[in-house]
Structure 1
Amino acid sequence: MPALNVEFSDRELEDLRQIAKERGTSMKALVREAAAADIARHRALQEGAEAFRRFFASHADEFAAAFPDDEPAHTSEGRVA
C-alpha cells in the first residue's frame, strides 16, 4: 500500500498521541480515519453540489418565473451584463 510521510509540529504530534490514547487506537489509524472522513466529506459535498446544479438547471424556468426580480440582466448577445 502506498504511504505518505506527514510532518507535524511538536504540539500537533502530542495532541495526536493524546487523542489516539484516549480512543484506544494508534496514531496511524487516527490520522488515516481523519483523512478518510475528510475524503468522504469532500465527495459528499461534490455530489451534493452536482445534484443542486442539476436540480436548478432543470427548474431554471420555474425559478425565473417565481423570482423575476432576481434574474440577471441580459445584453442583446444573451450574456449577463
Structure 2
Amino acid sequence: MPSLNVTFTDEELKGVRAAAAAEGKSLKQYLHDLGIREMERQKFVAGASLWADRLRAEFDAANPEEIPPSARHEGSAAA
C-alpha cells in the first residue's frame, strides 16, 4: 500500500498529535482521515454549488427583492 512521509516542525507535530489524541486516534489514522475528510468536503461543496446554480434562476424569480452580493453598491462589507 502506498505511504507518504510528511515533515512537520516540532511545534506543528505537537499540535497535530494533540488533535489526534483529542479524537482518540493514532497520528497515522488522524492524518489519513483528515485527507479523506477534505476530499469529501470538496466533493460536497462542488455538489452544493451545482445544486445552487441549478436553482438560482428559480430563486431569483421568486425573490426579486434579493440583491446578489456582487451587485450591491455598498460592497460585501455592508452585508
Which TM-score band (shorter chain)?
0.5 to 0.7
1:11 aligned onto 2:14:
no
| Structure of higher CA gyration radius | 1
Could you tell me the percent identity over the aligned residues?
Answer: 26
In structure 2, stretches of 5+ residues that fail to align are 72-79
CA RMSD in angstroms, aligned pairs only: 2.9
Q: C-alpha distance in 1, partners of 2:44/2:24?
A: 28
In structure 1, stretches of 5+ residues that fail to align are 73-81
Taking a change above 3 Å as real, the CA distance of residues 49 and 18 of structure 1, as seen in their structure-2 partners, is: same
Q: C-alpha distance in 2, partners of 1:51/1:25?
A: 35
Taking a change above 3 Å as real, the CA distance of residues 24 and 56 of structure 1, as seen in their structure-2 partners, is: closer
Which residue is 1:77 aligned to?
none
1:31 aligned onto 2:27:
no
Runs of at least 4 residues off by over 3 Å: 21-24
SS of structure 2 residue aligned to 1:50: helix
Per the normalisation by structure 1, the TM-score is 0.61
Aligned residue identity for 1:19:
A
Per the normalisation by structure 2, the TM-score is 0.62
Aligned length: 68
